[in-house]
Chains A and B, each alone.
Chain A
Amino acid sequence: MVRNLKLFWAFFSNSLTRDMEFKANFIGMLFVDSVYYGSHFLFFSVIFNYVDSLLEFTKDDVTLFLIITFMMDTVYMLLIAENLGKLNRMIVKGDLDFVLMKPVNSQFFSSFRYVNSYAVVSIIMLSGLLGYANHLMGRAILLQNVLFFGYSFMLGLCIFYSVDFIIASLAFWFRDFSMSGWFSHEIMKFSMRPDTIYSGFLRKTLFTIIPMALVSSVPARIFIYGPDIRYLLLQTIVTICFLIAVRIVWIRGLARYESASS
């Protein structure tokens, strides 16, 4: 664990060095993120022009939900997105060779090698925004809620990672699975809406088999309404199941890895 943390710090420093080489990209990504977040705020603002709430989620709740969703997205961009975005091509082109040759857990290496350091700035801004929005809404910040929120946020991130990782790893079986990025993106969209808008079979699916409702909605619920043991328990069980699935998929995938001819 300590070694992996040290390694992660080395990956981060190395990635920061790379990102600093391209100043325009660094600033440009902050701008793109702002536009992306703004469009989501606008979308829900339009909806709240016609309705007062989305079941128990009021306009204020949805605002907090969106900030938490963006935080999740940004933390994901910071730590994982670039790695899994490349994984499919690495498997197909045989570029996984150098990952597998290193004396480091190959799943850890493939998942965290590239860090999008620009996202640190976005995370700081979004954390400030969450605190400020909460303050404007006159809500008290309870330590207990913050702790449970942190735990739930971490589980949400693990689920987000697991689903994306499993989809990217399908390239081991399907060789050229270039639509994996698009496929992931479409699934991830379910996590960008409050769970209250889903009902029936779709809702059950999003809390279990494709657990996108557990990514942002549950952490947001805990931040807004306080800890709910049912949600936390479900999120914990689903996370464990998915992390085990990821491990199995990776090990079986590696056994099928064909590298590529020179």
Chain B
Amino acid sequence: MAIQVNQLTKKFRIFKREAGLQGALRSFLHRQYEDFYALRDINLEIQSGEVLGILGENGAGKTTLIKLLVGLLHPTSGRVLIDGFTPWERKNDFLRNISIVMGQKNQLWWDIPAAESFLLNQKIYGIEDKQFRKTLDELVDLLDISSKLNTQVRRLSLGERMKMEIIAALLHRPKIVLLDEPTIGLDVVSQSKIRDFVKFYNEKRGTTILLTSHYMTDIQALCKRVFVIHKGRALYDGNFDILVNRVNPSKKLTFEFPEHPSAATIQKLENNFALRIEDRFLTAQLPDAELNELLVQLFNLHKPKSFSLEELPVEETMKAFFADPEKFV
């Protein structure tokens, strides 16, 4: 097992003050603090080579969990074991096998080309020249970024910069990689390239990957299993498709009649199902069982000119989920 988390809790002490000058004066003289639980009693097991999506609204505790797993934060209580190491002890052998990419923070030096920062990482991680060259060439090829290696980081586009950040994080071939919103702010093409790369890299190297993203297409493409955090507590740990299906079991049917259906047919269908008919097109958004029944009736009535069945957009489904997550689990 790559990662084992038991009863992990992280509490922050937050300075509290009222708004306005009076509040500022009062708090200057008498500070008031309150405890804020970013995470409470989290239990989690992750197998080697698994890709786990960590989901939650803003402030749910995703980043706190990631930072505890890489040892940036000390927990208030609980235990984390990653390949036998306690992360916050920050042993060099542990740090050599783990890496993090944060979509909103850079590790590359702004004013110099990324290639210079890679050389520095080579020295920091003590990577042999031959292995360094091989890994760098491979990553640069996969991410198709060789032409930008010697361009100052500040002159790169956001997508190019993220590719360089990913290279910097993977040069030492870590066994575990934590990706905290790696596609944030990227255009759809760049998002897709990063997703393809992560998928390929996980399959090729067997790297354990933990991913947080607000883009559900990232999660759908990469993670079979998701771990949902809500207000600091674990809410769901399991298959992503099952969760999506639980939130919205419907599919969208578009059925094209060969000619305009009769008023009686429309009336009959509308009486039995929630659907819409415009001209020759029938559209309905229904759960599987109802949809099957509707299809049987439709095929009995008419041979379709065309028809399609679509899954509902996962972004929309998860938006509905996060509006009231407790309702679905």
Contact = CB atoms under 8 A, between A and B. Distances in A.
A10 interface: yes
B231 to A, nearest CB: 15
B90 A100 contact: yes
Interface in A83-97: 94-95, 97
Interface in A1-45: 3, 6-7, 10-11, 14, 17-18, 21-22
A102 interface: yes
A94 B93 CA distance: 23
Contact of A17 (B59, B116, B123, B126): B116
A21 B150 CA distance: 13
A103 B95 contact: yes
A14 B104 contact: no
B119 A14 contact: yes
Nearest to B122: A10
Interface in B58-107: 59, 63, 67, 70-74, 90, 92-93, 95-96, 98-100, 102-105, 107
A15 B27 CA distance: 43
B124 A10 contact: yes
Contacts of A11: 120
Contacts of B105: 94-95, 97-98, 262
A98 to B, nearest CB: 4
A21 B112 CA distance: 8
- The listed residue with most B CB atoms (<10 A of its CB), out of A11, A14, A103, is A103
A261 B63 contact: yes
Interface stretch (A131-139, A161-169, A251-259): A251-259
Q: How large is the interface on A (under 10, 10 to 19, 20 to 34, 35 or more residues)?
A: 20 to 34
Interface string A168-192: 0000000000000000000000000
B74 A18 contact: no
Q: How large is the interface on B (under 10, 10 to 19, 20 to 34, 35 or more residues)?
A: 35 or more
Contacts of A21: 111-112, 152
Contacts of B100: 97, 101
A109 to B, nearest CB: 8
Interface of B: 12, 59, 63, 67, 70-74, 90, 92-93, 95-96, 98-100, 102-105, 107, 109, 111-112, 116-117, 119-120, 123-126, 152, 180-181
Those 3 A-B pairs whose CB atoms lie nearest each other, nearest first: A10-B123, A103-B92, A103-B95
Given A100-B71, A101-B99, A261-B63, 15 more contacts: A10-B119, A14-B112, A14-B120, A18-B111, A97-B72, A97-B100, A97-B102, A97-B105, A102-B125, A103-B93, A103-B125, A104-B92, A257-B72, A262-B103, A262-B105
18 contacts: A6-B123, A10-B119, A17-B112, A17-B116, A18-B112, A18-B116, A97-B67, A101-B100, A103-B92, A103-B95, A103-B96, A103-B125, A104-B124, A257-B72, A257-B73, A259-B73, A261-B59, A262-B181
